[in-house]
Structure 1
Amino acid sequence: MHGEESLLQDIGLSIIFATVLSHIARVLKQPLILGYIIGGAMLGKEMGFELVTNEASIELISEIGLILLLFIIGLEINLAELAKMGKAMFTLGILQFTLSVAFVYSVFPFFGLSIGSEKFDLLYIAVALSLSSTLIVVKLLQDKVEINTLSGKLTVGVLVFQDIWAILFMGVQPNLNNPEILKILTSVGIIVLLIAFSFSVSRYVLAKLYKACASSPELILLTSIMWCFLVCGIAGEAGLSKEMGALVAGMSIAAFPYGADVISKLIGIRDFFVTLFFVALGLKVPLPSLEVIGLSSAIIALMLFVRMITIAPVIIKLNKGVRNGFLTALNLAQISEFSLVILALGAGFEHITPKLQAVILTSTIIASVLSTYIIMFNHNIAATLERLLAKVGITDQTEETGKVDPSGQGGHGGHGGHGDGMVRDIIVLGYFRIARAFVEYLEDLSPSLIKRIIIADYNPAFKEELTNKGFQWAYADLAHPDSLSHIGLHDASMVICTISDSFLKGTNNNRLLSTLSKLAPNAKIILTSDEPGEAKKLVADGAQKVIIPGVITGEFLYEYISRGMRNNEREA
C-alpha cells in the first residue's frame, strides 16, 4: 500500500511541478516542453529537491505517453499526401538527413570533444543532430501563420521525412551491438513485413470495423487504441521497439477519415502521459558542469551550421528561392524530441554513455529556447543572410526573375505576357488570402482585366499557377525596396497590397506606403489594415484607399441580415 501511495504522490508532484513550470514557460514565451523538463529536474536527486522517490514507476508510465505520442505522429504521416509533395520534396527529404548524418559523423571527431567511450556515441550524436522538433516547429509556425507558406510546407515536409528516417533507425537499433549485414537486413525485412501486415489488416479488417462502429465515436477511439497496442505487441515480439510499432500503427490508419477524430480525442490522454515522459527525462538531468555546457554549446553551433549547409543549398538548387532556403533551415534549427526518444532507447540497449544522454538533453533544452527566438525573427535573419549571399552573386533574381516588361511581351527573366501589346499597369503585391479571392473573381467576371495585372510575390511556387491563368508573376520581397524596383512600379497606374500588418513579414503598410510613393509616384496606392485608426493614418499619408476586412465583413453581415428581415416583414 505504501508503494501505491508513493507512486500516486510522485505522479501528483510531477504534474504539479510540470504545470507550474510550463505556465512560467508560457509567460516567458518558451516551449512548454522546457517547463516539463525543468519541473522534472527540480524533483530529481541530481539537481533538485529529491521529492520523487519512485523514478522507475514514473518512467514506466511515461512510456505509455511515448507510445501514444508516436502513434499520433504516425497518424499525421499520410503516405498518399507524401507522394503528392513531388520530386523536389523527396530530394530535400532524402538529402537533408543523409548529408547531415554523414557530415556530423565525419567532422565531429576533429572537434576533439570527448563525450563518451561507447562505440555508438558518434553515430547517436550524428542521428540526434539530424532531427528537428515537430512539436516546437509546427506550434510556432502555426502561431506565426506561416504553416501554409512555401517555406512552411518545405519545413513540414522535411519533418515528415525525418520521422520516417527515425523509424528506420529505430528498426535497426536492437541489432547495433551485432551489426552483421544479415541481421540488419533481417531487421529491415521485419520492418517491411510489419508495415505490409499493418496496412493489409488496416485496409481489409479495420476498415470494416470502423464502418460498423461509425456511429459510436467512443468505439472508434477504443478500436484505434487497441490497434496501436496490438501492433506494438507484435513489434516487440518480432524484436523491434514498441515505439516503432506505434508509429507503424498510426501510419496504417492515417488515410481513414476517422484519423483526425482519433487524434483530437487522443491528444488529451497523450498530453498527460507525454508530460510524465519529459518529467522523467528531467529527473535525469545532471547538475550542469562547465564541461557539459561547453559541449552542449559546441553541439548546438554544429547543429545550426549543419542545418544551413544541408538545407539551404538544396532548396536553392531546386529553384525554390534563396529566402525559402534560409527560412526552412532556420525553422528546423533545434534538436528533436525524437532524438531524446532514440537516445533513451539507446541507453536501454547500453549503446551510449549516460554522459552523452545528459549532454544531448542539455543541448536540446538550450536549442529549444534559442529556436523560439530564431523562428520569431526568421524573416529578419533570412534577409540578412540573403544580403550576404547576394554579395557573391547568388540571389532570387538570378533564379526566377529579372526586370519585368510591363508590356507583357516577355522581358528579361522569363516573365512572359500574352504578346498583345497591352500594358500591365495594375500591380498586386503579395498573393495571400484576399489576393487569391480577387484572382478567382477576375477569372469569373473580368477576364480582360487579367491582361493588365502583375502579381508580385516572393514565393516562386505561384509562378506557374498565375501565368497559366494569364497573369504576369514577378518576384518581389515586400520587406526589401530593392526587389520592388524591378517590377515596373514606375509605370503603374495602380498598386494594391491586400496584406495587413498582422501578416506582413519584415515590414508594415506604413513603410510600404513610403517606398511605393517614391517608386510609383503616379499610381493610386491601395493598402490593407485591420484597424480603422491605422487606415485613417495611411489615407492621410497618401494612400488612395485602405481596405479594412473587418469593416467590409461587418457591412456585408448588416446588409444580409437587414435584407432578410425586410423580406420577412413583406411576407408577413
Structure 2
Amino acid sequence: MDIFTELAIILSLACFFGLLTLKLRLPLVVAYLLAGVTLSVISSADASVLHELPEIGIAFVLFLVGMELNFNEIRSLGRPIIFATLLQVALSTVVGFWIASQFGFHGVEAVLIGSALAFSSTVVIVKTLLEKRDLASLYGKLSIGILLIEDLVAIFLMTAITTNLFEFGFSAADMVPLLIFFGKAIGLIALAFLTSRYVLDRIFDICARSIELLFLAAITWCFVVTSLAVISGFSVVIGAFIAGIALATSPYEIQIQGKIKPLRDFFVALFFVYVGAQVELGHIIDALPITLALAAVALLIKPLIYLISLSVFGFRKHTLFQTALNMTQVSEFSLIILLLGVEYGLVSSLSLSVVAGAAVISIIVSSILIANSDVLYKVLKPFVAVFQRQKERDLPHVLKPATLTDHVIVIGADRVGHAIVSYLTKAGIPLLVVDYNPKMVRQLRSEGIHTIYGDVSDPEILDHLELEHAKLIISTASGLMDTRSLLEACKRKNVTGTVVVRAAEPEHEKEYLEMGADYVMLLEKVSSDFLLSKLKNEWPNVTFGHREGAVGL
C-alpha cells in the first residue's frame, strides 16, 4: 500500500473519532488512540507511514517542551511544586510497582509500569487550561509548574532507558561508560547553548526578516541538534529537548512556537495513532483487572497525594482541589516511556497495552471530571476541607463594613494592577488587593495595604471581599473562569459599585457586559480610548508623558 493511501486511511479514522470525541467534549488524544486501536484490529497497524513519521512528532513535542520550559514558573512557587511533585512521583511509582508485581510483572518492567503512573498529561492539562482561560490562575500556575517538574523527571527516565542505565552496576568497569555518557551529555548541552548564544542568535536576527525563513532555520536547528544527539548515542527525545531548551530565551521563541505547533500537531496525531496501534485488544481483555487498577491509581491515588502534599504549604481548599483534579491522567510521556522500553527490550508489548489502556480510561474519566469541576467541588468540599491548613499568608484580613466601605478592590497587583495600586495608595483611597503571588502579597502587606492571598475563582475568597460595600472593583485577571466567578458573585450580592474587568479575547467582551460588567478592558480598546481622549482634550498640543512638547499630527 502506498504512503498516500495509508495516510488517507489513518487520517480518516482520526477525523472520524475526532468528531465523536469533540461531540463528547473529550481530548483529541483519545480519538487518535482509538484510531490506532482500530488500525490494529483491521490489521493495518504495520503501515510503513507509522514507522518513521511518528518519531518526528516526538521530536517536535520535546522541542517545544524545551522551548516552553519556564524556570520562572518553578521559582515563583518553587518549594510546594518541587516537594509535591517529587513526593507524588515516588509514591505513585511505588504503588504502581506493587500493583504490577501482584499481576506477575517483575524487575525493571514493574518499575517502568509504576513510573508511568507518576506523570500527568501535558496535552490534556494545558489544553483544558487554555480553553478555560485559567493559565494565569493560581491553580493553573501550580499545575504548569508540576508538569514542568514531571517532564524533567520523565526526560531523565527516558535518558536512563535509551542509555541502558538500568543495566549498569557499581563496579569500576560499569562506571566508565556511565562517566563517558555524562561527559557526552555535558558536551552536547554546552555545544548547543554556546552555539545558540554566539552563533544562532545572529543567524536568527538575519532570518527574522522573513517569518518563513525563521521557521525553516528553527526546524533546521532542531534536526541538527537531534542528529548530533543520535550520532553521540542519545535518543531523538534527548536531542530535541536540548535543542528546545537552547532556544527558550530566544527573542523569537513565540514566533517559532506559533509556526511549529501546527506541524507538531499533525505528527503528534500520527504518534498517538501509532501508540494506539500497538495496543492489542486481546491483551487489554486478558489484563483488564490491572488496567483498571492502574487507571484507579491515576484517578484516585495521585490527586490524594497532591491534596496532602500541597496542603502543607497552606493553599486554600479550592486551589488544592482544582490542582489535584488536573493531575488525574496517565500521560503521553508514560506511553513514550513504555514505547522506548519495548524498543530497548526492557518491557513486553503487554505492558505497553496495559498502560495505553489505563491512559485512555484515565483521560476520558479525567476530562469529564474536569469539565464538571464546579459541581464536583460542591460535593467534595467537606472532604477537601480536611486537608486545608490555614497559614498566615493564606489568612485574609476579615473586613467589616464599618472598617472599609466605599473602597476600591483591585484583583491582580502585577503589571496593570501594580500601577493602579500605587496610584490609589498615594491618593489615600481605601483599597483592598487580591493576588496569588506570595511575594507580591508579602510586599503589599509590608506597606500596610490590605491584601488577601488567593485566587479569585475561589468562592471563599470572593465571600471575604465584601463586594457589596465596594465603590469600584477592578479585575486585571485575564482568566475566563476568574472573571465569570467574579461577575456571578457581584450579581448574587447585588453589587451597586462600578465593575471593571479584563478580557483576553474580544469575543468575551459581550459576555462580560451581559453578566453585569460596566467596562471591559481590551488592549486594543483601552489604547484606542486613550488616544481618542488625548485627541479630544489636548488637540493640537498632544503630549505623551515622558516626551516633552507637542506631537505634530
**TM-score normalised according to structure 2 size:** 0.81
Per mean C-alpha deviation after superposition, the further-off stretch among 98-107 and 257-266 is 98-107
How far apart, in 2, do the equivalents of 1:485 and 1:176 lie? 54
Give the equivalent residue in structure 1 for 2:51: 59
Give 1:296-311 correspondences, 5 Å limit.
296-311=291-306
Give the equivalent residue in structure 2 for 1:339: 334
Question: Which residue identity is paired with 1:255?
Answer: T
SS in 1 for 2:234: coil
How far apart, in 2, do the equivalents of 1:125 and 1:205 lie? 42
Q: Is structure 2 residue 51 aligned with structure 1 residue 72?
A: no
CA contact (8 A) 2:410 2:417 kept: no
2:352 maps to which of 357, 365, 380: 357
CA contact (8 A) 2:133 2:480 kept: no
How far apart, in 2, do the equivalents of 1:265 and 1:552 lie? 24
Give, in angstroms, the shift of residue 118 of structure 1: 5.3
How far apart, in 2, do the equivalents of 1:537 and 1:105 lie? 46
Question: Which residue identity is paired with 2:292?
Answer: S
Give, in angstroms, the shift of residue 86 of structure 1: 2.2
Deviations 1:35-69 (A, max 9, x none): 1121222222xx3x33x374344222221222122
Q: Is structure 2 residue 230 aligned with structure 1 residue 245?
A: no
Give, in angstroms, the shift of residue 311 of structure 1: 2.7
Q: 1:323 to 1:178 in 2, by over 3 A?
A: same
Q: Cα RMSD (Å) of the superposition?
A: 4.1
How far apart, in 1, do the equivalents of 2:231 and 2:523 lie? 62
Q: 1:430 to 1:327 in 2, by over 3 A?
A: farther
Give the equivalent residue in structure 1 for 2:422: 443
CA contact (8 A) 1:292 1:359 kept: yes
How far apart, in 1, do the equivalents of 2:290 and 2:488 lie? 45
Per mean C-alpha deviation after superposition, the further-off stretch among 173-182 and 464-473 is 464-473
Q: 1:187 to 1:548 in 2, by over 3 A?
A: same
Give the equivalent residue in structure 1 for 2:168: 179
CA contact (8 A) 1:495 1:524 kept: no
Give, in angstroms, the shift of residue 153 of structure 1: 1.1
Deviations 1:501-559 (A, max 9, x none): 95348957456544x46xxxxx8555579899997997xxxxxxx62538999899699
Question: Which residue identity is paired with 2:10?
Answer: S
Structure whose CA Rg is larger? 1
Give, in angstroms, the shift of residue 402 of structure 1: 5.6
Give, in angstroms, the shift of residue 388 of structure 1: 2.4
How far apart, in 2, do the equivalents of 1:166 and 1:555 lie? 43
Q: 1:222 to 1:455 in 2, by over 3 A?
A: closer
Give the equivalent residue in structure 2 for 1:425: 405
How far apart, in 2, do the equivalents of 1:189 and 1:136 lie? 36
How far apart, in 1, do the equivalents of 2:154 and 2:192 lie? 19
1:503 maps to which of 478, 481, 487: 481
5+ unaligned residues in a row in structure 1: which ranges?
Answer: 408-421, 518-522, 539-545
2:205 maps to which of 211, 214, 224: 211
Question: Which residue identity is paired with 1:164?
Answer: L
CA contact (8 A) 2:435 2:455 kept: yes
Question: Which residue identity is paired with 2:154?
Answer: A
Question: Which residue identity is paired with 1:448?
Answer: A
CA contact (8 A) 2:96 2:117 kept: no
Per mean C-alpha deviation after superposition, the further-off stretch among 436-445 and 142-151 is 436-445
Q: 1:508 to 1:425 in 2, by over 3 A?
A: closer
SS in 2 for 1:132: coil
Aligned length: 527
**TM-score normalised according to structure 1 size:** 0.78
Give, in angstroms, the shift of residue 464 of structure 1: 2.8
How far apart, in 1, do the equivalents of 2:463 and 2:213 lie? 61
Give the equivalent residue in structure 2 for 1:25: 21
Give the equivalent residue in structure 2 for 1:294: 289
Q: Is structure 2 residue 272 aligned with structure 1 residue 283?
A: no
Give the equivalent residue in structure 2 for 1:374: 369
How far apart, in 2, do the equivalents of 1:291 and 1:102 lie? 28
Question: Which residue identity is paired with 1:431?
Answer: I
1:42 maps to which of 25, 30, 38: 38
SS in 2 for 1:197: helix
CA contact (8 A) 2:393 2:453 kept: no
Q: Is structure 2 residue 307 aligned with structure 1 residue 315?
A: no
Deviations 1:422-479 (A, max 9, x none): 943245567159x9857634633773343x2223567766523543565311367777
Give the equivalent residue in structure 1 for 2:191: 197
Give the equivalent residue in structure 1 for 2:549: none
1:107 maps to which of 70, 77, 95: 95
Question: Which residue identity is paired with 1:280?
Answer: Y
Q: 1:476 to 1:282 in 2, by over 3 A?
A: closer
CA contact (8 A) 2:120 2:147 kept: yes
Give, in angstroms, the shift of residue 13 of structure 1: 1.0
Q: 1:293 to 1:11 in 2, by over 3 A?
A: same
Q: Is structure 2 residue 518 aligned with structure 1 residue 547?
A: yes
Give, in angstroms, the shift of residue 168 of structure 1: 1.5
Deviations 1:288-327 (A, max 9, x none): 6444333222112212344334433333323444432332
CA contact (8 A) 1:307 1:330 kept: no
Q: Is structure 2 residue 114 aligned with structure 1 residue 126?
A: yes
Deviations 1:64-104 (A, max 9, x none): 22212221222222xxx405642742x34443443234323
How far apart, in 1, do the equivalents of 2:408 and 2:281 lie? 56
How far apart, in 2, do the equivalents of 1:61 and 1:32 lie? 19
How far apart, in 1, do the equivalents of 2:202 and 2:417 lie? 44
Question: Which residue identity is paired with 1:464?
Answer: R
SS in 2 for 1:549: strand
SS in 2 for 1:156: helix
Q: 1:214 to 1:353 in 2, by over 3 A?
A: same
How far apart, in 2, do the equivalents of 1:17 and 1:103 lie? 38
How far apart, in 1, do the equivalents of 2:260 and 2:459 lie? 48
Q: 1:144 to 1:291 in 2, by over 3 A?
A: same
Give the equivalent residue in structure 1 for 2:319: 324
SS in 2 for 1:120: helix
Identity of aligned residues (%): 25
Q: 1:497 to 1:180 in 2, by over 3 A?
A: same
Give the equivalent residue in structure 2 for 1:153: 141
